[in-house]
Amino acid sequence: FGSLYLVVVLQCVRQGPLLAAPSSHGHAAGAVVVRPPPGLGPLQFLGEGRHGVAYKANRLDQLGRTVVVKFLKKPSGGFYTQRDFEDMSTATEARINQFQKECLVAMDLQRYSSNDPEGARHFVNCEEDGVRPFEGRPKEMPLYIVQEQIVGSSIATWSFDSLLHDSLTVADVQNMWDGMRQALAYMVKPEHEHRWSHNSIHKDNIIMQGESLFVIDWGRAKEVTSEAYGASDRDARFAAALLVRLITGDMSSGWTMRAKGFSRDAFH
């Protein structure tokens, strides 16, 4: 879901059909094919990826903050809904769990933000888990998550623009690595009840907003259960190698580190 985030990147009246097939929006800017969940205003189409569709909407409260809403697509078309909990196949359960994990891990990472605000600020907050089975909700209601809106660009785009304009400085590189280091350390702090490996660090999952760095897309995250060498160490190596490539401008695909213990290409 990370490439879908788009980095500009869902409750209200329950009437009429709650959703239409994702393909019906025709990719027109601002197209709306889903009724917003309770508490949100009209949805504006942001983008569509392999597994989901993202919209932005404003909260119907005094602040009226803009948030990002994501829905999970079915391989056959349309969205997964509350009805899909009634008879789930193993494949359906796996897709829904991965989609929900993106929100649950993000929520867990924010549990300790008061103790380490510098570390927590590198993670986009998930504000609402609309994936769980909800008693009393219409069966046709699509599964969704609501996330904080971050306006920025992928680290690859940010780096390319900096190199193109010959504006990448030592301070930029230091700030970028400091942000990544803080994020990686926060993810596995011993005092946290749960410690996490992102397990999918690549150029589309690191976002730059000004001088701030964010790690997004937690659908493939794994809980770190051992002090031994493992997934969290791979996160660090993926991140270090990625930053080296960004700084040198070498973003060609196909460069793997399998010999060093990487299981797949981090830079697809």
CB atoms within 10 A of CB 116: 15
> Could you tell me if 126 and 219 are in contact, meaning their C-beta atoms sit under 8 angstroms apart?
no
Beta strands, E only, the chain: 44-48, 52-58, 66-72, 126-130, 144-148, 153-154, 196-197, 206-209, 212-215, 222-223
Q: Is 98 in contact with 88 (CB distance < 8 Å)?
A: no
Spatial distance between the Cα atoms of 198 and 216, rounded to a whole number of angstroms: 9
Beta carbons of 185 and 119 less than 8 angstroms apart: yes
Tokens of 238: 């993926």
Residue 260 is assigned to a ligand binding site = no
Whether residue 55 contacts residue 46, with contact meaning beta carbons closer than 8 Å, is answered with yes
Let me know: does 155 contact 183? Beta carbons within 8 Å: no
Distance, CA of 56 to CA of 64 (rounded, Å): 12
Tokens representing residue 95 in the block = 């897709």
Binding residues for ATP: 70
Bind-site residues: 70
